[in-house]
Amino acid sequence: MNREHILPADIERTSMAIITKELEERGITVPEDRAAVVRRVIHTTADFDYAENLHFTEDAVAKAVKRLAQGGAVIITDTNMALSGVSKPSLKKLDAKAFCFMAEPEIEKQAKEQGTTRAVASMAYGAAHYPEAVFAVGNAPTALLKLEELIEEGLRPSLIIGVPVGFVNVVESKEQIFAVCEKYQIPAIVAFGRKGGSNVAAAITNALLYTAADTLDPGRRGWQG
């Protein structure tokens, strides 16, 4: 075992170099504007399928990064797990905020009263209070279906990250949210198929935050090395 790389920054740099090399060996070409997102997701999952199943609307990364770099952006996740994975130093540097409303008593109350899921209620709440937010969905396809409905009604978020994982309504919800985002020219990054998860939602969010904050190299985040 090579024990040369023991500092966090060194490990991440080496991992990204390995990912880049393996993508080349597999004959997979990732457009440069999407490379940071794709590499970050592969780094998180060790799954090279994401190099091909991540779909991007036109200029999605550039538009999202521009919004984040302006400061004051809001990110809304559908799980506290995804929220916990979002880089807090990057949020602070960019004067951005991230929320998950799933565990709020008001959301539970609304879900019960409306006979729906907390994911649906939390997206409706987030959209009502932060209509231009970045919505990062890694678990609940019902959240994506609600966002699709709200977009048809006039919601215009800064970005939709649609990467729920599972077997029921997952594939369909992703295809539908991507189509409606294309229709209304809303930036979207969606993992087609069954794969995804809260960790993937956080990874995509972080790739965008790091790009906006100019900290893709871990050394620029204050890490050792």
Q: Give domain limits for the chain.
A: 8-217
Name residues whose C-beta falls within 8 Å of residue 118's C-beta, 6 or more positions apart in sequence: 102, 107, 108, 111
For residue range 185-224, list pLDDT tens digits in order.
999 999 999 999 999 999 999 999 999 999 998 888 865 4
Model confidence at 173: pLDDT above 90? yes
The answer to whether 45 and 202 are in contact (CB under 8 A) is no
Model confidence at 5: pLDDT above 60? no
Model pLDDT, residue 217: 87
Residue 51: Cβ-neighbour burial (10 angstroms; 0-12, 13-18, 19+):
buried
Q: Of these residues, 5, 43, 55, 129, which one is catalytic?
A: 43
Percentage of residues of the chain with pLDDT beyond 90: 91
The answer to whether 40 and 206 are in contact (CB under 8 A) is yes
Residue 46 carries which DSSP code? -
What SS3 state is found at 136? strand
Domain 8-217: give its CATH superfamily. Cobalamin biosynthesis CobH/CbiC, precorrin-8X methylmutase (3.40.50.10230)
The question of whether 43 is a catalytic residue gets the answer: yes
Comparing 10-14, 29-33, 125-129, 155-159, the range with the smallest average pLDDT is 10-14
CB atoms within 10 A of CB 44: 18
Model pLDDT, residue 134: 98
